[in-house]
Amino acid sequence: MIIDPTKRFSSRVENYIKYRPGYPAAILDLLKEQCGLTRASVIADVGSGTGILTELLLKNCSPVFGVEPNRDMREAAERLLGKHSNFTSISGTAECTTLKDQSVDVITAGQAFHWFDREKTRHEFLRILKPGGWVVLIWNDRNTTARPFFKAYEELLMTYATDYAAVNHKQIDPEMISAFFGAAKFKPNSEVKHCVNEIGQARCTVPARAKRAGRTVQSVTPDNVPSAPGTARGQRSAPSLPAADFGFKHAIFPNEQVFDFEGLRGRLLSSSYSPEAGHPKHTPMLNALRAVFDNHQTTGKVTFEYDTSVFYGQPSA
C-alpha cells in the first residue's frame, strides 16, 4: 500500500535538508527569459517541502508562497527561510492551496508533481493563476544507466526499496504533462508518439569540462528535439512538432552531487521508499550500500549526476 504522500517524509526531514540536491541557478534565467519573471511576479512554490526550490526562487526578490501540506517539512522551511521577508509559508496542498483566485503569476513544483492528483491540481492551478500565468514543473532526474555506479545504485533500490517502482517520478511521461497543460487535441498518431517518446528520453550530452565550468545545456523543446547524432544519448533522431501540439516547453540543465559514504547513506535515507530502522530490509540495504560505495568510489567519493528537467507552459482552461 502506498503511504499518503503528504505524510511520507515526516521522519526524513533532516536527511532531506542535508542530502537532497539543489537546483541550478540557470533556472531563474530561464523563467525570466521565457516566462517573464520579474521582481513583481508572485510565485507559488507548491509542494515546497523543506524549501530547496523556494530558496532559489527567493533570490529573485519576488514574493514567494511556499505551499506544503507536511507539517514537519513546512516547519523546517520556515526555520530555514524565515529570514526572507518575501517568503510566506502556507499550509496547503496542490489540490487546495488556499490561495486567492487569480493571485499568482508563476506556479512551480520541484520534485513534487508526481505526488499530485493531476485533475484536481489542474483545476486549482487554473483558479489561482492570473491570466497568462505560467506553470513550471521541475525534477532532478538522476542518471541510472550511464556508469556502473549508477546501475549498481539503481539495482540496490529495486532490491530493497519498499515501493520505488510505484512512486518513481519517471512514471510521469510527456503525454501526462501535455494533458495537464491542456493540450486537449493531443492524440498521438504514430509520428507524434515517436516524437513524444524521444522528448521523454532525450538527454543532452554535457562534456565534463562544461559541467565543471557550470555551463548549461541547450533547451529541448517540441520545436527543438535533438535530431543530429551526438546531441542526445542514444543517438536517435525525432521529428519536430509545433509547441501547440504539446502545450509545454522543456529545458534540461546539468546538476550533480558528490558524496562520501555518510553523504550517500543520508541521500538514500532521505528517500521515502528506503526502509527505515526497524524494517527487516534496513540493515541489509545499508550493508549493500557500503559494498556499492566501496566498489565504485574514487578517492573516497562517488558522484550522482542529474538532468534537471524543467517543463513550463501556460495551461489552457
Domain architecture of the chain: domains with CATH: 10-144+170-258+306-313 (3.40.50.150)
Q: Convert the pLDDT of each residue in 93-119 to its tens digit.
A: 999 999 999 999 999 999 999 889 999
3-class SS at 216?
Answer: coil
Residue 20 banded pLDDT, cuts 50, 70, 90: very high
DSSP 9: T
More confident residue, 161 or 38: 38
- Give the model's pLDDT for residue 5: 66
More confident residue, 192 or 119: 119
3-class SS at 305?
Answer: strand
End-to-end CA gap in the chain: 34
> pTM for the whole thing?
0.80
CB atoms within 10 A of CB 89: 19
CA atoms lying within 13 Å on the CB side of residue 141: 25
Q: Convert the pLDDT of each residue in 277-311 to its tens digit.
A: 888 999 999 999 999 999 999 999 999 999 999 99
3-class SS at 78?
Answer: helix
Residue 11 banded pLDDT, cuts 50, 70, 90: low
**How long, in residues, is the chain?**
317
Q: Convert the pLDDT of each residue in 76-92 to its tens digit.
A: 999 999 999 999 999 99
Residue 193 banded pLDDT, cuts 50, 70, 90: very low
DSSP 3: P
Give the separation between CA 102 and CA 99, rounded to whole angstroms. Answer: 9
Strand locations in the chain (E): 43-46, 64-67, 87-90, 104-110, 129-142, 249-259, 302-313
